[in-house]
Structure 1
Amino acid sequence: MVEKFEELLEQAYLAPRGKVKIGLLEEAIRIADTHLDIDAQFDARMELVDTAIFSGHGEKAIVAFAWCLAQYDKNPNMYNDHQMMWNYKWVTDRLLEFPDIELQKVKATLEDLKKRFTQTGHGPHFYYYIKQALAMQLEKTDEVQHYYEKWIREPSDSLSDCRACTLANQTKTLLYLDKLEEALAVAEPILKRRLSCHSVPHRTYADLLLPLLKANRKEEADDYYQKCYQLIYNQTGFMDTVVHLLTYATITDIPKAISLLEKYLPEAIDSDESAVRYQFYTVATVLWDLLDEETKKTVKLPDTNNMTQINEELVRLANLFNKQNKTDVFTKKIDRIQTEIRHLHQIKN
């Protein structure tokens, strides 16, 4: 069984991130759990954490990492502190994607993360980032501003994101705070390609599309749209970026929007990250409403889903997020986003 286990890990190593790689790692975990030692079980799960995080299957990463963290707590000297904390931060970031995880549990996990960072000699730089990200999701603008300022003042350390990702995240927050010029200044090293990473500049291009369009800078926005799409065209796991592309195309170029819908709706449906589906369906349903009946007949949708079902799922997801956070923000957000898209589509065409 050792040979089979190692063969599966080798195949997984060579496979791109996605469902095939996840399947190989899950089979390796089953073999390790039945026939091999704790080290093999641990190593296979940590590989699954990385793969699942970056391919739209965060729930699998959360489950696998919880097992690894329990082993770490039993025998902390057997494992690498930095590796554990690095993966813990990614898993914590993904908790915001799942409405069935109670808000108090999310907040408790953030505090546990901060405590463990301190215990392992690290600062709260990433902790402040994730606090402002949570506030942004809940549309608590004052809290976003508060934690953003603490985040950018706090020195980075070995558990901080790379410089490219940090600037990309700062850009996103500044755009949320309606500070376009400041965001563009922060993003300059990314836009001039002096800094890059796995998802950068992709997501920065995407984040800038709507703010630039609203500022009557469509030529710049069009350029970033093309650059972004070229970067993600043959990849999976970029659904948050795709949502921005779909939004922009729905406003400015319906045929492009239809192509995006046809290409990415199956990936959205397949994602186990509820926030991804919520965001994509919010835009997909308003796009559908903008189409005439003859055009709708030409759109290639998955056999198992129609847009009525997608709309019903969107309402269900909004209600779940509302319940999780004891708010009606997520229902109101749908109305606000769809109203803005309709308005901009009308005035830009």
Structure 2
Amino acid sequence: MKMTVDQYWDKWEELMSREEASFEKWDGLEDLLFIAQKEGDLYKEFCCRFGIMRTVNYLGEYEELFDHFEWCNGFFLDNEENLEDWVESFLWIYKWMAEHLVKMPGIEMELLDAFFNDFEEAYDRYGYSLRPYYQHQHKRALKTGEAEDAHAYYHEWLAAERDSLADCEACEYQTQLEYFYFTGEKEKAAPIEKLLLSKEVCCGEIPHLTYSKLLLPYYEDGRVEQAVRYQSEGYFFIYDKPHFLIEASEHIRFLALTEPLRGIKVLERHIEYADSGKDPYGMFYFYMSAIVLHRKLLEAGHRPGFAVDVMSEVAEEIAGDFDARNGNDFFEREMERFYSL
């Protein structure tokens, strides 16, 4: 039975009101997208694709995000005068794109630079602060191992004005925390850890993502008992989110050094998504952590029950692709760091 216009928009609003991303929500929006395309209604198509972007981003389906963003960006630029109410919502998605494009070694540097130029121009054109742009340039530099750029953009980010498109305070503090661990400035990280773990500032993903970042630093400082507690508490928040590969890899590395048998369960929960290749950056760190776990199991006299030969080959290939794209040897050095654990 054909939907009326009211039924169509009621269904779209019902799906969009679901806060939790799910494959069911995605399927529902795809059904509405099919109807919109069949009718040739480009505005309906834009609305559905926008909803799909908001959903697939939290499901780890990044290729889908890229494809829908390209279509929506073209439609948005062609119809800006009629989409004023969408500006902030659409500009927010630039941040998701910036987060994930960097993690794809197949995205050439020229294309990456062009996207970040568009990011800067779009925010500037509509009069928004460039704080998110600087923040994501900073995060990009961390992922590509460009320490000087990370330092420069860190200060530009924090100096820029906060407005409605800035990340929430909790997410910004999380980014600062990760930077201080990158630079080894643990004394600067300490008050931020305390703030986030106290939940004085929090959001839908913080402090969920904070715990895994503390595990190895705490282990290195001899605070193993505290780290064990954080591992248990922190993994509870991500165990049913298979695409959280970076966080899962951090749990695996810590367990490899402390309770390697427990690391196998974490590996098993996330390996299917890692093997899918949807997140090469996360895949690299997950496979390298699995290699560490495999070695520690053997050293403890256990039979691992999984092989790492293919993982090692794939991780080496990914590292080579990233370093070729980024023009440095950061991922090669990351491999050496893992093998030294």
Question: If the length of structure 2 is used for normalisation, what is the TM-score?
Answer: 0.90
Measure the CA separation in 2 of the matches of 1:56 and 1:85: 20
- Aligned twin of 2:318: 317
Corresponding letter in the other structure for 1:88: Y
Measure the CA separation in 2 of the matches of 1:161 and 1:187: 18
**322-331 vs 278-287, greater mean Cα deviation:** 322-331
3-state SS of 1:54 partner: helix
Offset at residue 118 of structure 1 (A): 0.9
Is the CA contact 2:239–2:269 (under 8 Å) kept in the aligned structure 1? Answer: no
Is the CA contact 1:56–1:271 (under 8 Å) kept in the aligned structure 2? Answer: no
Offset at residue 123 of structure 1 (A): 1.2
- Aligned twin of 2:70: 66
Is the CA contact 1:57–1:271 (under 8 Å) kept in the aligned structure 2? Answer: no
Alignment of 1:288-299 (within 5 A): 288-292=294-298, 295-296=302-303, 299=305
- Aligned twin of 2:57: 53
Alignment of 1:226-265 (within 5 A): 226-265=232-271
Corresponding letter in the other structure for 1:174: F
Offset at residue 245 of structure 1 (A): 0.8
Offset at residue 323 of structure 1 (A): 2.3
3-state SS of 2:102 partner: helix
Measure the CA separation in 1 of the matches of 2:162 and 2:67: 28
- Per-residue CA deviation, residues 280-318 of structure 1 (Å, 9 max, x unaligned), is 111112222333398446x3x6xxxx5333222222222
Task: Note if 1:37 corresponds to 2:38.
Answer: no
- Aligned twin of 1:344: none
- Per-residue CA deviation, residues 250-291 of structure 1 (Å, 9 max, x unaligned), is 111101111111121112223512111111111112222333
Measure the CA separation in 2 of the matches of 1:150 and 1:235: 33
Number of equivalenced pairs: 334
Is the CA contact 2:257–2:296 (under 8 Å) kept in the aligned structure 1? Answer: no
Corresponding letter in the other structure for 1:216: G
Offset at residue 322 of structure 1 (A): 2.0
Taking structure 1 as reference, are residues 296 and 21 closer, same or farther at Cα in structure 2, changes over 3 Å only? Answer: farther
- Aligned twin of 1:150: 156
- Per-residue CA deviation, residues 103-134 of structure 1 (Å, 9 max, x unaligned), is 12112211211111111111111111111111
Measure the CA separation in 2 of the matches of 1:19 and 1:239: 19
- Per-residue CA deviation, residues 158-187 of structure 1 (Å, 9 max, x unaligned), is 111011111111111111111112112123
Offset at residue 42 of structure 1 (A): 0.7
Alignment of 1:144-223 (within 5 A): 144-223=150-229
- Root-mean-square deviation (Å): 2.4
3-state SS of 2:209 partner: helix
Taking structure 1 as reference, are residues 199 and 14 closer, same or farther at Cα in structure 2, changes over 3 Å only? Answer: closer
Return 5+ residue gaps in structure 2 as ranges: none
**287-296 vs 253-262, greater mean Cα deviation:** 287-296
Taking structure 1 as reference, are residues 63 and 45 closer, same or farther at Cα in structure 2, changes over 3 Å only? Answer: same
